[in-house]
Structure 1
Amino acid sequence: MTSETNKRSRFWAQVQAELRDIPLAFKKERKVPLLNGIDCYQISFQSLGNETIYGFLLLPQTTKACPLVIEFLGYMNYLQEPFQFAHWPLIGCGCLVIDNRGQGG
C-alpha cells in the first residue's frame, strides 16, 4: 500500500469509529399523502458532528415489497417537496431521498 492509501484507510476507519459512537436517533413521521396510492414519510437521523440528516421516504401503497431507489442530493440541490420524487412510487418503486450533511433539510 502506498502512503496515500494508508492515509485514506486511516481516515475512513476513524470516521467509521466516530459513527459507531453516535446514537442513530431515527425518526419517521407520516405525512399527508401526496397522491392517491403513495405513502409519504419525513425521516431524520443523527450523523457526524451531531448533524441531523433529513429526508423523505415514499412508498407505493399497493406493494408490500418493492425495489427502493436511494437518492443522495448534492450540494447544488436540497429537499423541497416530496412531490419531486413521486415518479418513483408511481412506477412501483419506493424512494428514500436525503439531503447532504449541512444542507439543513
Structure 2
Amino acid sequence: MKHILTIALLGSLAATPALANEALAKSKQCVACHAVDKKLVGPAYKDIAKRYAGQGDAAAKLAAKIVTGGAGTWGAVPMPANTQVNQAEALQLANWVLGLK
C-alpha cells in the first residue's frame, strides 16, 4: 500500500509542472491564439517545440518573444507583446512549450 501511495504521489508531482504551465498559458490568454497541437492565429505549441528543438538558447529566445512580441517568424501575423507576462512566467511558458512533443 505504501508503494502505491508513493508512486501516486510521484506521478502527481511529475504532472504538476505541466498542468501548472498549461494553467498559466490559459490565465495569460495565450490560448486565444495558440493551441497545443493545431494552428490557430499563431502556430501550435508542438510546432514551436519542433522548430526550436536542440537549440541551447531556445527558452531564452522564446521567453523574450513572449514578453516583447515579434513578427515574421511564423508568417505575416505578428505576435503582440504580452505585457501581463513577467520574465519568470515567460520562461516557465517557454520551457513548457519546448517540452511538448
Q: TM-score range by the shorter chain?
A: under 0.3
More strand by share: 1
Length-normalised TM-score, structure 1: 0.27
Higher relative contact order (CA 8 A, sep 6+): 2
More helix by share: 2
Q: Which has the larger radius of gyration?
A: 1
